[in-house]
Amino acid sequence: MKAVIPVAGEGTRLRPHTHTIPKPLLRVAGKPILGHILDDVVALGIKEVVLVVGYRGENIVDYVRANYDIDLSFVEQSERLGLGHAIYLSREFIGEEPVLILLGDTIFKGDLKKMVASGGNSIGVKRVADPRRFGIAELQDSRIVSLVEKPEKPKSDLAVAGIYAITESAALYGALDSIIKSGKRTKGEFQLTDALNLMIEDGSVLKSFEVEGWYDCGKPEALLETNKALLELASPEVKIPGSIIIDPVYIGENVTVESSVIGPFVSVAKNSTIKRSIIRNSILGESAVVEDGLLDSSLIGDNAAVKGMFKRLNVGDSSEIDFT
């Protein structure tokens, strides 16, 4: 089995961070999103990976080449024509081999080995409370009969999670070829979902596989939620003399922390400095500086500095000051 990871998107919902760093390289729980994904791919025993690059592709190529000793191929998507189009571009690298497709902004935890080993075409799904906000898999017995984007009247609560193990690769690429040649776009883009529905119509059997951990990183709130969840899953206890650390946190190499309260759910990349501050539920980039700061649910980029958030007050008896 080979893996395809589309990472060409501009990550507009994560601006301003993605102005300088492509979304897959934004850090969460101490590692780039793409690092988490590739570690999982390697753990599955997959040795050949195709990355569909576009926006700031050179940064992604450099990162992956420097950190992963696996068989890597890169294909460029010069125009963002949709996820279906991005996957279509990988066809010559995959041929008829089974393919595992993982989105470049989604991390999975759980029994992926079982999903891959289950054979046949498996679509990763997760039960959600409000199916009308998601792409939903409609099932008959265990077979998917159709994938519907944000249905008004959802027939299931199984959201399409963004991981696809496809054994009938020729049928997938054939379906993508049809939708691209016929110009069928949904919301202006060539959609992978449309190709999967076409596969079903043409007789392919697609089954659903419930993934345990589905961690989206596409928006600031989602990135912070994922940071929290991954830190909760695994992070060593941290102790820094002179400061209070509330686990779980990730503190990178060569980070200076003085007279501060850090955590819970804080990731700090290497070479950063935190002095006289209180920080919780936040991600700090490399060489960031926070002094006299009070931060919650914050994303602080590389080399950014935030200083002086404590207030000086002169408040008389029976007064009320409310900063909320």
- Binding interface with ligand UTP (CB under 6 A): 6-13, 23, 52, 77, 80-83, 85-86, 103-105, 218
- Closest contact distance (angstroms) between CB of 84 and ligand UTP is 8
Separation of alpha carbons 34 and 26, rounded Å: 8
* Residue 213 CB-half CA count within 13 A: 19
User: What's the burial of 78, exposed, middle or buried (CB within 10 Å: 0-12/13-18/19+)?
Assistant: exposed
Residues 6+ apart with CB under 8 A from 299: 17, 220, 223, 224, 282, 283
Smaller CB distance to ligand UTP: residue 14 or 289? 14
Burial class (CB in 10 A: 0-12, 13-18, 19+), 92: exposed
Question: Considering the complex, what minimum distance in angstroms separates the CB of residue 99 from ligand UTP?
Answer: 15
Residue with tokens 């102005």: 19
Work out how close the CB of 195 gets to ligand UTP at its nearest, in angstroms, rounded to a whole number: 13
- Residue 105 or 286: the one with the smaller Cβ distance to ligand UTP is 105
Q: Distance between CA atoms of 199 and 144, rounded to whole angstroms?
A: 11
CA distances 294 to 204, 276, 290, 309, Å, are 55, 9, 9, 6
Q: How far is the CB of 67 from ligand UTP (least distance, A)?
A: 18
Q: Nearest residue by C-beta to ligand UTP?
A: 9
Which CB, 190 or 243, lies closer to ligand UTP? 190
Q: Residue 218 or 301: which CB sits closer to ligand UTP?
A: 218
CB 14 to ligand UTP: min, Å: 6
Comparing CB distances to ligand UTP, the nearer of 218 and 263 is: 218
| Residue 134: CB minimum distance to ligand UTP, A | 13
Beta pairing partners, 192: none
Amino acid letter, 82: G
What's phi and psi for 181, nearest 5 deg?
A: -65, -30
Q: Which is nearer to ligand UTP, 163 or 278 (CB)?
A: 163
